[in-house]
Chains A and B, each alone.
Chain A
Amino acid sequence: MIAHSIFFYTFSIIAIVSAIMVTASKNTVHSVFFLILDFISISCLFIMIGAEFLGMIMLIVYVGAVAVLFLFVVMMLNVAQQKNQWFSSEESSKHIPVGLIISTLIFVELIIVVGGWKYKPDLFDINNSIEINNVSNTHSLGQVLYTDYIHIFQISGMILLVAMIGAIVLTFRKRVGVKTQSYIKQISRERSDGVSVVKVESNKGVRIDD
């Protein structure tokens, strides 16, 4: 039990410190790396409460894919310079109260959620349910996700699909004057299209069309 709490506090301290460092560090690329550390420690916490499926999915989706794209954007767009300019300018002081209000709101909401969950009369006890059902949490997750919540699950899939199509439509542009490779054209090329035998008269030469 002591070992369990040592691990819990280690991971949570790392998570909180790295979350603070995401906003505090000057270098934006460092911020993203701290964000990744935060994701990893959160997924360790998930695994510690027995939700190994959620923890692994967190690693695969957020760390393996989303954070890589974050890093791409941050590295390519030179955000660091913009951020420094913004902090040194007059404009930044106007945004601080707004940020403070929003963060207080989120904090209060979080506290309400935690309180409401804790004092709910029919609080679902995680430890008992595992012993009774004796199924892994991947199975139990699938059992509710594809039966009771199938509509919500399908709708969230549709929303993601719409977002994907939207992103493609926004960035798609037909470029003119660019030579692209067409496999069909290359494969269907015959000898008769490319080569022709020309009878050359002496002292005349041949005119080659291009």
Chain B
Amino acid sequence: MEYLSILFDQVYKILFLLIPVLVSVAMVVWLDRRVWAFVQKRQGPNVVGPFGLLQTIADALKYIFKEIIIPSSSNKVIFILAPIVTMTLALIAWAVIPFSATQVLADINVGILYLFAVSSLGVYGIIMGGWASNSKYPFLGAIRSAAQMVSYEVSIGVIIINVLLCVGSLNLNDIVIAQQNLWFVIPLFPMFVIFFISALAETNRPPFDLPEAEAELVAGYQTEYSGMMYAMFWLGEYANILLMCAIGAILFLGGWLSPLEIYPFTLVPGPVWLVLKILLLFLLFALVKAIVPRYRYDQLMKLGWKVFLPLSLIWVVLTASYLFYFNLLPVN
């Protein structure tokens, strides 16, 4: 009985987290399209609901009522599993995101490693979808994206090491609290820039959307998908983008901390600050999509391995030696 009550309590908490995340994913798709349109001097979605806010809901309804087509030559089990994997991985990562000192679903010791592990698993949804479709364009897209995500994960890992050197803990709440005096975006600014660009590549956003480059690969790994399964890929992608923004906000922008610890700012609760920071990063994501042209594939690989990886490694050495020399290493 006791176990059941714990279970219900947890399920309630999980729903309380996941439903806002899903709703905000829908809103963020709208925001992305509006920003994109704004840059190009168009209107964007503005018909359904006030300011077109319900456009994504209408799109999702359309996808739900469409027929799901499974190609006869595909590997059916894996074909169906792929969007489910993408969506699930995008959602389970939110379990460790701290919204304030106490509002976190699972305050685990290795929170940042968990986030890193889940984001590195994200590549499987794409590979599975691309391979199981048994078709040329999806397979090429999947191969591209796997290579791209594995490459950029390396530099993201090294950037995380930079932050961890300054914190001395893998717990996400500790990382936030360590930024009480100074957000890490100031001392580690080059790492923040590299993290942002790597996050673009990791989530297959333009200018690194080679896996689904519509001019060369139709829609990449999503080509054979239709109806609800396509919608799940699509929602999972945006949930992943929001997640990367959240990771960036926690690692560099002080998570749920308010920018200044003085009177009017301290009235605003922590979750609001975190959401504002996530939105700020997302606006940058959306602007980059509208402004920057697509990279060529070899340039993308060159950027990942020959520029970002050495730069972030050198920065690790610099950070470590600075902390060691001035005896600032966190010890507990």
Contacts and interface: CB of A to CB of B under 8 A. Distances in A.
Q: Tell me whether A and B are bound partners.
A: yes
Contacts of B121: 59, 63-64
B123 interface: yes
A60 B108 contact: no
Contact of B109 (A2, A36, A52, A72): A52
Interface stretch (B112-120, B179-187, B252-260): B112-120
Given A33-B78, A64-B153, A72-B146, A138 B109 contact: yes
A68 B113 contact: no
| Most central of B117, B127, B131, B153 by chain A CB within 10 Å | B117
Interface of B is mostly: helix
A136 B131 contact: no
Interface residues of A, number: 24
Contacts of B150: 64-65, 68-69
Contact of A56 (B78, B117, B143, B332): B117
Q: Chain B contact residues (Cβ within 8 angstroms of A): what range? A: 20 to 34
A105 interface: no
Nearest to B132: A29
Contacts of A63: 117, 120-121
B3 interface: yes
Nearest to A76: B143
B131 A59 contact: no
B170 interface: yes
B243 to A, nearest CB: 15
B124 A57 contact: no
Contact of A53 (B110, B116, B131): B110
A198 to B, nearest CB: 34
12 contacts: A3-B3, A29-B75, A52-B109, A53-B110, A56-B114, A60-B120, A64-B120, A64-B153, A68-B127, A68-B146, A75-B143, A139-B332
Given A137-B109, A138-B109, 4 more contacts: A53-B109, A64-B150, A71-B127, A72-B146
